[in-house]
Amino acid sequence: MTQLDRLSVYHWLNAWCIKPVGGALVRQEPEYILLALMGSPLKKIMLCSSEKEIFSVEEQVMVQHSVIINNMIEDGSYNHEESKIPLDCVDSKTLKKVIDYCTHHTHHHNDNQEDLEAWDAQFLNVDSNGLYDLLMAANYLEIRNLLDLIYGTIKNMIKGKKIDEIRRIFNIKDHGFTPEEEEQNRKEYPHFY
Amino acid sequence: MECCNKRRMMKESPESNFMNRRGSSCFPDEVLERVIGMLKSRKDRSSVSLVCKEWYNAERWSRRNVFIGNCYSVSPEILTRRFPNIRSVTLKGKPRFSDFNLVPANWGADIHFWLVVFAEKYPFLEELRLKRMTVSDESLKFLARSFPNFKAISLQNCDGFSTDGLAAIAADCKNLTELDIQENVIDDKNDNWLTCFPESFTSLEVLNFSILHNDVNFDALEKLVTRCKSLKTLKLNKSITLEQLQRLLFRAPQLCELGTGSFSQELTTQQYSELESAFSNCKNLNTLSGLWVVTPQYLPVLYPACANLTFLNFSYAPLDSDDIAKLLVHCANIRRLWVVDTIEDKGLEAVGTHCPLLEELRVFPADPFAEGDARGVTDSGFIAVSQGCRNLHYVLYFCRHMTNAAVATVVQNCPDFTHFRLCIMNPGQPDYRTSEPMDEAFGAVVKTCSKLQRLAISGLLTDLTFEYIGKYAKNLETLSVAFAGSSDWGMQCVLEGCPKLRKLEIRDCPFGNAALLSGLEKYESMRSLWMSDCKVTMNGCRLLAKEMPRLNVEVIKEDGSDDSQAERVYVYRSVAGPRRDAPPFVLTL
């Protein structure tokens, strides 16, 4: 079976297996169905972290979420048999989390809104370093929904907080205002601090 | 394969994170702009700009709306320098007490030199909202010519223009969606300004000309309403008859907000039923106002439209208690209600009974200067409303007398007040049952209502009221005081005790220089202070001006008054320095 045939069968199966069948949602992992029918592995791609660790992930998953990876696959610059995509900006820990996010959202996109939001909330329950790394990775890979999620979280870290607390959360040690400017700000907006 | 080099963003090295050695925020520009763009409120935006220089810069580039509470606190040059991309400007001019004729004509707050700068720096300006500014016809014509994308103009309590200016807006603003003229002093020259909207013009969504007293060209109005399919708000003036109203409603059943014009005409049975039918068809009406002159027997035509109403503005409709009671039976969803005190306590009982969702109540006096046995509303009406409407958080209540006990009961029933404005119309009026000062009433308000932002006090009040305010009103932002207090100590308590105070307006109180000067440090964190007919002298004002160079200390001088007294003092912070346009009777110290 050619690569193209495999891909089209994969897509058909994937579509089939997440539609309701006889009133119930059939949640079969596509690779098992395919294995059962074809005996060959599902289309995977290789991502390589900055620490040179290789992560194998379903092409479908990454193509759905990352504009960058989608473009690479489409323009043919990624050769399935040989290539791996080096992501020098993203460390292993972060890459694993990004893959987790994309995989969950692909396989669970029919879940109800509340469950998805709850999952997202616990997914983002990381320290500020972790959040920053995720933000950088999502920005580079252009994963829109993850980016929006993180932007919203950062917004909530700012909204309604006092200035001194915001500086502490974001570890802003040098605010960059002159001493006169800072003093004047504190005089004009005392209850913001 | 290239990775990070392709992206434009990274100012820091890839290994950096929030724990940055240099300590500055290390978000890429677009991330910062994106996050800041998600913050809409003024408070959050101000907050962001104070965190660090980098955030200040990202915020200023992304700001689209700006609100300036005092037009003299900043100059248009400084504003446009800081915020290069503004699309919507809100400006407030004269001090609020100008509404009570305490500010002479030609005091200032002219919009024109702002518009000249905006024409150059904000050519894509879309919205202008002005309150208590002077706006000339020339300015309106200039505006109409200078901003091709202009969409919305709202003028509230402004003066200096005529219907000629409105004609220019109508003729030249091709993308206009909003023309909102409220409570202005306007020279109503002709009825033809409505004909200036071109035949091809269809974008209007808001039209409010309720304040004009002359007839308008009804034919032009009807055609305009017919072709503007997105019209949501239509507020008509007194000249529109019931029959004309029916015709307009027939053309615009999609309206959400309606100002009815007068509500008085002899109607045939046929006309009555057509009008009733027109109101039935308005399924989206949530706001009703007008009824400038009311024929009560026609009020039932409104009933079919009442179920969805959330805001009823009858501040010009002198209804009696029976009329209002019969109407309110149908208005279970009302959140905001403005009425005249002709409805009396019995009318307020009906409010308490039929409007459990009420959040805001304003009761205006039909005749504030009436003497003798004038009726109106009293303490019992106030209590009745508070018993039925537990969600009340905004009240403006004009009455002739009140008791401490009633106010205490009201705030007990409704502890969530954010705005409490009680206006006992006779100055220095004590509790009419006990003859004591009204100190305990306002003490109860500030002790119980921890969210209180705005307070207006009245009646016979000693320094004790101000002690209570200073001690308990920790969220208070605006305070209006008239004919109250015993000594400087009162004003001092407020200045020292209320951390969030922004606006303080005082008239006819025994506060002098010691009180004025006790707020030295405070005034820089406030928008403004107004003191008229108090005991402040020119020397006191000069001292304040000398100590606090970043404040503008202005005295309005009347002819023939004592040179050493400062009858009207206006103090405000400003980055623009002293006014360049002050008239001769305004002395900047």
- Asked if residue A24 has pLDDT above 50, the reply is no
CB atoms near residue B316 (< 10 Å): 18
Establish if A110 belongs to a structural domain: yes
Shared-domain flag, residues A123 and A55 = yes
Distance of CA A166 to the CA centre of its chain: 26
The domains of chain B are located at 29-63
Q: Are B234 and B255 in contact (CB under 8 A)?
A: yes
Do residues A50 and A91 touch, judged by C-beta distance below 8 A? yes
Chain A contact set for B50 (CB, 8 A): 163, 185, 189, 192-193
Q: Do both A16 and A31 map to the same domain?
A: yes
Domain of residue A24 covers 6-38
Cβ–Cβ gap A161/B31 under 8 Å: no
Query: Do residues B533 and B508 lie in contact, with contact meaning Cβ atoms separated by under 8 Å?
Result: yes
Strand duo B551-556 + B586-588: pairing: antiparallel
Q: Which of B7, B18, B35 sits opposite A132 (nearest CB)?
A: B18
Shortest distance between the Cα of A100 and any Cα of chain B, in A, equals 21
| Cβ partners under 8 Å of residue B251, min gap 6 | B222, B225, B226
Q: How far is CA B230 from each of CA B138, B206, B249, B255, B290, rounded to the nearest angstrom? A: 30, 9, 14, 9, 21
Residue A104 has pLDDT above 70, yes or no: yes
CB atoms within 10 A of CB B364: 18
Asked if residue A121 belongs to a domain, the reply is yes
Q: How far apart are CA A62 and CA B292, in angstroms?
A: 65
Residues in chain B within 8 Å Cβ distance of A134? none
A24 assigned to some structural domain: yes
Q: What is the CATH number of the domain that holds A48?
A: 3.30.710.10
N residues, chain A = 193
A48 with A82, same domain: the answer is yes
Instruction: Report the pLDDT value the prediction gives residue A109, as an integer from 0 to 100.
Output: 85
Give tens-digit pLDDT for A41-83.
468 889 999 999 999 999 889 989 999 988 888 887 777 767 7
Which one, of B72, B35, B69, lies nearest residue B51 by Cα? B35
| Residue B125, token pair as written in the block | 């300006």
User: How far does the CA of residue B55 sit from the closest CA of chain A (Å)?
Assistant: 9
In the numeric block, the tokens 């107004």 are attached to B530
Nearest to residue A139, comparing CAs of A188, A94, A191? A94
Which of B472, B416, B466 has the alpha carbon at shortest distance from B438? B466
Q: Residue A110: its pLDDT value, please?
A: 87
Written as one letter, the residue type at B206 is V
Does residue A90 sit in the same domain as residue A127? yes
Domain count, chain A: 2
Assigned CATH class of B29-63 = mainly alpha
CB-facing half-sphere around the CA of B125: CA atoms within 13 A: 28
Determine the residue type at B529: L
pLDDT band, very low/low/confident/very high, at A29 (cuts 50, 70, 90): low
| Lookup result for tokens 């005996």 | A39
Chain B residue closest in CA terms to A132: B17
pLDDT at A11: 52
CA distances from B494 to B226, B424, B465, B516 (A): 54, 21, 10, 11
**Is some CB atom of chain B closer than 8 A to the CB atom of A161?**
yes
The reply to whether A31 and A54 lie within a common domain is no
Asked if residue A133 and residue A92 are part of one domain, the reply reads yes
Give the per-residue pLDDT at B17: 43
In a domain, residue A182? The reply is no
To test the contact with chain B by mutation, choose from A126, A131, A158 the residue with the greatest count of B C-beta atoms within 10 A, namely A158
Query: Which of the pair, A8 or B127, is modelled with greater confidence?
Result: B127
Q: Are residues A120 and A74 in the same domain?
A: yes
Cβ contacts of residue B378 below 8 Å, gap of 6+? B345, B399, B400, B401, B402
Q: Which residues of B touch A136 (CB under 8 A)?
A: 14
pLDDT at B372: 67
Work out the minimum CA distance from A56 to partner chain B, whole angstroms: 18
**Cβ distance B219 to B192 under 8 Å?**
no
Residues in B whose CB is inside 8 Å of some CB of A read 1, 3-4, 7, 9, 14, 17-20, 22-26, 28, 31, 34-35, 38-39, 44, 46-48, 50-54, 56, 499-500, 521, 524-525, 573
Which phi and psi (to 5°) does residue B247 adopt? -65, -40
Contacts B20 to A, Cβ<8 Å: 171
In chain B, whose CA is at the least distance from the CA of A88? B3
- The Cα of A160 is separated from the nearest Cα of chain B by a number of Å equal to 7
Most confident range, picked from A28-37, A85-94, A117-126, B464-473? B464-473
Q: Which residues of A touch B33 (CB under 8 A)?
A: none
Beta bridge pairs of residue A56: A46
CA distance B453 to B244: 43
A184 found inside a domain: no
A174 in any annotated domain: no
pLDDT at site A34 = 45
Both A63 and A115 in one domain: the answer is yes
A171 CB neighbours in chain B (<8 A) are: 18-20, 23
Among left, alpha and beta (phi > 0; psi -120 to 50; other), residue A66 is beta
In-domain check, residue A127: yes
Cβ pair B4:A89 closer than 8 A = yes
- Whether A70 and A142 map to the same domain: the answer is yes
Query: DSSP for B569-580?
Result: EEEEE-SS-S-S
pLDDT of residue A26: 45
Contact B3 A172 (CB under 8 A): no
- Which residue has better confidence, A125 or B232? B232
Are A140 and B7 inside 8 Å of each other by CB? yes
Low-confidence spans in chain B with pLDDT less than 70 = 1-26, 190-191, 372-373
Backbone phi and psi for residue B317, each to the nearest 5 degrees, phi listed first: -110, 105
Whether B582 contacts B546, CB under 8 Å: no
A60 with A17, same domain?
A: no
Question: What integer pLDDT is reported at residue A120 of this predicted model?
Answer: 93
Interface touch B50/A86, C-beta < 8 Å: no
Query: What pLDDT is recorded for position A23?
Result: 38
Nearest C-alpha of chain B: how many angstroms from A87? Answer: 6
Chain B CB within 8 Å of residue A163 CB: yes
What would the pLDDT profile of B230-285 be if each residue is shown by its tens digit? Answer: 999 999 999 999 999 999 999 999 999 999 988 888 889 999 999 999 999 999 99
Cβ neighbours of A174 (radius 10 Å): 13
Q: Quick check: B260 and B275 in contact, CB under 8 A?
A: no
Residue from the list B3, B20, B54 with its beta carbon closest to the beta carbon of A176:
B54
Please tell me the distance from the alpha carbon of residue A134 to that of residue A149, in angstroms, as a whole number. 11
User: What is the model's pLDDT at position B562?
Assistant: 76
pLDDT confidence of residue A14: 52
- Domain membership of residue A132 (yes or no) is yes
Query: Nearest-CA residue of chain A relative to B501?
Result: A191
Chains A and B form CB pairs within 8 A to the count of 102
What distance in Å separates the CA atoms of residue B169 and residue B172, rounded to the nearest whole number? 6
Restricting to A residues 60-99, those with a Cβ less than 8 Å away from any Cβ of B are: 85-89
Nearest to B38 among A88, A151, A177 (CB): A151
Closest residue on chain B to A167 (Cα):
B51
Q: With the CA atoms of B408, B414, B419 and B425 taken in that order, what torsion angle do they form, in degrees rounded to the nearest 10?
A: -40
pLDDT of residue B26: 61
Are A144 and A86 in a shared domain?
yes
Alpha carbon distance A157, B51 (integer Å): 13
Q: What is the pLDDT of residues A153-169, one digit of tens each?
A: 888 888 889 999 999 88
Same domain, A88 and A67: yes
Classified as helix, coil or strand, B91 is: strand
Q: Looking at the complex, report in whole angstroms how far the Cα of residue A180 sits from the nearest Cα belonging to chain B.
A: 13
Residues of B in contact with A192 (CB under 8 A): 46-47, 50
**Cα–Cα separations (whole angstroms), residue B463 to B443, B468, B516:** 11, 9, 15
* Whether residue A21 has pLDDT greater than 70: no
Task: Judge whether B418 and B393 are in contact, CB under 8 Å.
Answer: yes
